[in-house]
Every structure is written in structure tokens, then in C-alpha cells.
Amino acid sequence: MCGIVGYIGSNDALPVLINGLRKLEYRGYDSAGIATIMNNELNIVKTKGRLSDLEEKLNGMNLGKSTIGIGHTRWATHGAPSDLNSHPHTNMSKTIAVVHNGIIENYIELKEELQNKGYKFASETDTEVIAHLADMYYNGDLIDTLIKVISRLKGSYAIGMISNEHPEDFVAVRKDSPLIVGLGTGENFIASDIPAILEHTRKIYLLEDNEIVHLTKSGVTICDINKNKITKEIFNVEWDVEAAEKGGYEHFMLKEMNEQPKVVHDTIAQRIINGKINFENFSVNRDTIKDINKIFIVACGSAYHAGMVGKYLIEHLAEIPVEVDIASEFRYRNPIVDEKTLIIIISQSGETADTLAALREAKKRNGKILAIVNVVGSSIAREADDVIYTWAGPEIAVASTKAYTTQLSIMYLLSTYFAELKGKITTNEAKKLVDELLDIPEKLKSVMSRASEIKELGSKYYKERDIFFLGRGLDYMVAMEGSLKLKEISYIHSEAYAAGELKHGTIALIEQGTVVFALATQEALFEKMLSNIKEVKARGASIIAIAQEGNEQLKDIADHVFYIPKIEDKLASILTVVPLQMFAYYCATIKGCDVDKPRNLAKSVTVE
């Protein structure tokens, strides 16, 4: 998501910036821009679209040779893709330029404060507050200015900043968003990822959170927020370019699974202000929620499974009736939709053909449309009445992982928000759920840290022809996603069943050695689930159980138990799905399947 490149040296900065950004195109972007300094003047060129559009714009200009500059490719989060919303952003006098990856969670209050001081904003982005804060705090020293700026920021960021008053140096910092420093001879670099600078140097500093770097063409110094100097070891890159694009991971899918703690944090944290859930520019409020008497959730594939979780949560917490429809079926069954119906459309790309067609059908029937999408400015986002973005960043692998978990994150927020608006939960109950939501990223890290445990299971069961997934309630909904992941990338036949349906036919398929995933994270349904596990175990099944920490009853029954960190039952789905994603991944890689591009599948299904 987004790409940063910065250069200072003796060579022309412009081709270095453009070539570096091109190496980051795999991250996905919707606009691009550069800032350089020539004759003590700051030159900003940026445009919506591809790098080729930026190059075409630059070809019509005569900027001359500059030996310092920063560049950026933007994946929109705040504000649709446009020339104005593209990076770099500047202060009003255009003496300071910044590029930024990440999300500034408190940008609304900072923007209001700056506007009250007379600062005028040219874009809809959260990033522009950084440029105006830098203007407000600038004292002639770039490091002092950046330290004061980041002391005001909440959220994640990697920032590069240049000023026309400093043509011989520039500064950068990172927090929860990647940034590296490249060390050359008579030139130095920053970048959000290694591929951007790999043709120039293989000597890298890997910055940690709150480390501030000051670059000149002759050297690099790093300090902390108290200006204490930091000495770092040089990391020598030995990867090839393709491996570098994946951040050293073997596959994009593995990289994206490991990004889940961060993107879930980005999706949740900014929507929680002073302990309460807040959706920016959202029309569903306490007055309108009382008029909604029914909700449809419409989606395809993994998004459909996220919608199934959403149905459970909204009905359980907010007590609003919910139907979940596969998008390709919705418009052909004469759905009963009117002005009191809310239709929640879920799509990673925002361009899914069946889902877009369902949206348009619902609009014809006067339904109110809420889109949950990952791509700002996509067709579904533009045509919906309200939009909530999942800030997962671009997902390259065909099999959805981080897009799905961010969709779940929105369903958690939305159901709690609706419930509190309708008075179905108290303020204290809502606060307890919010606190649990804020803890999820750390718990996800805990689950991801045990990948070797899941890899061992993959090496044991990758040759299976059939694997079954069982669960009740929310666990059944997660079982469907786990089954989909396994079949789409490993080509192992798998099915998910509501465990209570076993005796109605499914149990006939269970025989000696059949592998069964049994999801048992819901306390209210545990005893019944335990009975179902015993039923398949008695018929010779090999059981892989998933339960919450502290549940010891499965140890004597299951062949293997994977424990997720203790969490409120209603929120367990987001932790439960991760070992299922990893199991599918390891089965597929051990079999030698093309994990990122499974056969017959496309990332965004834009035809019916």
C-alpha cells in the first residue's frame, strides 16, 4: 500500500525517483507524484493514474537537473484518487513537501485546529495535516520540526520531508509503516521497500519505530525522538528483485497473511475516538437507524463469508433482521427491498460484477446502500449512499486473507455501532467490546507467531483428498472460509458443514482416517460441538480442533488442538480463521501449487 522513494546525491534525482516508484508498482496505487528542489525552489508534479501518466506530464515540463527529491505512489484511503489528493503534499507557501504512507488517526482534530489557525487545505487527505504542522513548527531545523510534528500524530506513518530551504539534506521517520534507508557512495536513499533502490545499493538500514533519519549525499545519521544518536548495523540484501518485492517472503499470500495485524489495526483504530466508534461522513445515525427494519448483506466468495459473520453479529447485538445473499442470486429472486431496507454490499475490489449488479438492483427498489470496500473511488464506492473502507491495502495474491479479516473488523465495528445507537447494549458493554477490538492486532500477532505449528500439520495432511470443516454458530461461518481457502489454493476437496447437520446425512462420508477440522470457540455451543466431535471421532476421523486458551476438554479427544488467545466469543472469528489460512497455504506450498495464482481463478471477478 503506497510507495515512497527519496534521493539525495550528485546524480539527477528524477529518474531515480521514477524508476524506484516503478519497482513498487506491485504494491498497487491509483496516483503518483514527485517533489524536487531546483535553484532553491520546490517543484511538485503529481497526477491521478499510473506512473506513465506522471512521466507524460513530466515530459511536457523542463524541471532541469535536481539532486534531491521525494516520490510517492498513493493507494487512496482518505479522499478519492485525484490530482489534488496525490502526494507529495505541501504547506501553503509551498516551501515544505511531504510524502506519507499509513493513516493519521487523529487527523480530523488536527485539521480543525489548523483551520482555526488560518491554514487552508487543498486536499481531502489525512497527510496534508503533516505538511501544515511542519509549517507551524518549522524553526530552521528539519529534525526539530519533524520531532514536533510526530509528537502530535496518532496512527501509523512513514514520512519523508524536504524543504527548499534545505537543498542539501532531508529527513524521514517511521512508525508502524515500513521505511528503509539505502546507503550509496556519494548518494543516499529512503524507500518504503527494498526493490525501489536495489539497483543502486544493497546496503540497507532497517528503521525501527520512531527512528528519525537525516540524509545528506555524504552521510546518514539516525536518532530517536530525544535526538539521541542511534548506531545501526548495515543489512546486506541478498535477495533477487522478485523476492524483494515480496519483502523476503516466499509468496505474496504469506506476506499478506503476516500484514493482518497491521491492517486490522489500521481499519479499527481510527474508527475509535475517545473510546467510541465513529464512522466519518456516515449518514446512519440514531435518527435513521430506527427506520431500518431489515438488512441485506450481499457479497461473493470470502466477502460473503464475512457477511455471514456480520449477520450473526448484527442480529445478536442490534436485533435487526438480516439476510445474507450471494450477489449472483440476489437480483434474480425478487428481493423484498424498500426505503426501510439497508443493503450492505461487501467487495474487496469494489468492481465485482455480480455485486455491482446487485447494488444497482437494490437502488432501483429504493434501498439504502452501504458499501464495505477496499478500493477508494471504485464503482461500488461511487454508487453507494455510504462507504466504509477496509484499509487492507492492495492484495496481490488471488486468495483473500487480509481483505477478509479487515471486512470482519468492519462487521465488528458496525454491529456494535448499530447496537449502541438502538440502545440494545449499554455504554459500558459497548466500551468492553471496543477495548477487545483494540486488542485484536496483538492477538493476531500471537497466532501468526505459531506458524510452524500449522506448517507441521500441513506437512502431515497435504496428501489428503478430502478434508471436512465443522462448526456451530460463528464457527460454522469461519469453517466455510477455511474450506474455501483450502480448496482454492491446494486443490484438496473440502466442505464445511454446520456440525448439527452431521446426523442428517454428512456423517455417512466419515470413515477411518478422514481429516476433520472442528472449530469450537463458542462457549454457549461448546457442549453440543463436543458431542459432534465425539461422533466423528467414533467413526475413525482424525480431528484438528481449534479452541480458546483455557479449554482443556479437547486434549483427550482431538489429535491436535490449536489454541487461539482468549477473546470475547463474538470476536473469535478473526483469530480462528488465521490458522485455517495458514493450513491452506502450507498444504499448497508443500504440494508445489502456485499459491499466488491458483488455477482458473482471478483476483477481481469483473464479469458475470
Give dist(CA 3, CA 505) in Å, integer. Answer: 52
Q: Which pLDDT band holds residue 346 (cuts at 50, 70, 90)? A: very high
* 177 has a pLDDT exceeding 70: yes
46 and 392 Cβ atoms separated by less than 8 Å = no
Active-site residue (options: 203, 276, 537, 603): 603
- Please give the average per-residue pLDDT across 272-277, as a whole number: 91
Query: Can you read off the three cell numbers belonging to residue 480?
Result: 466455510
CB under 8 Å to 59, separation ≥6 — which residues? none
pLDDT of the residue at 607:
41
Give dist(CA 158, CA 172) in Å, integer. Answer: 7
Q: Which pLDDT band holds residue 394 (cuts at 50, 70, 90)? A: confident
Active-site residue (options: 2, 300, 587, 593): 2
pLDDT of the residue at 503:
81
Q: Which pLDDT band holds residue 19 (cuts at 50, 70, 90)? A: very high
pLDDT of the residue at 606:
42
pLDDT of the residue at 604:
54
* 537 has a pLDDT exceeding 90: yes
Long-range contacts of the stretch 108-114 (C-beta < 8 A, 24+): 108/280, 110/152, 110/153
- Please give the average per-residue pLDDT across 304-309, as a whole number: 98
- Please give the average per-residue pLDDT across 58-87, as a whole number: 90
* 244 has a pLDDT exceeding 70: no
* 457 has a pLDDT exceeding 90: yes
Please give the domain boundaries of the chain with CATH numbers for all domains.
3-245 (3.60.20.10), 254-447 (3.40.50.10490), 450-591 (3.40.50.10490)
* 439 has a pLDDT exceeding 90: yes
Told to judge if 593 belongs to the known catalytic residues of this protein, a careful annotator would answer no
pTM of the model: 0.79
Among 342, 350, 345, CA closest to 326: 345
Give dist(CA 561, CA 544) in Å, integer. Answer: 6
Sheet of strand 466-471, all strands in order from the earlier edge strand to the far edge: 493-498, 466-471, 515-519, 542-548, 560-564
Among 162, 93, 160, CA closest to 127: 160
Told to judge if 603 belongs to the known catalytic residues of this protein, a careful annotator would answer yes
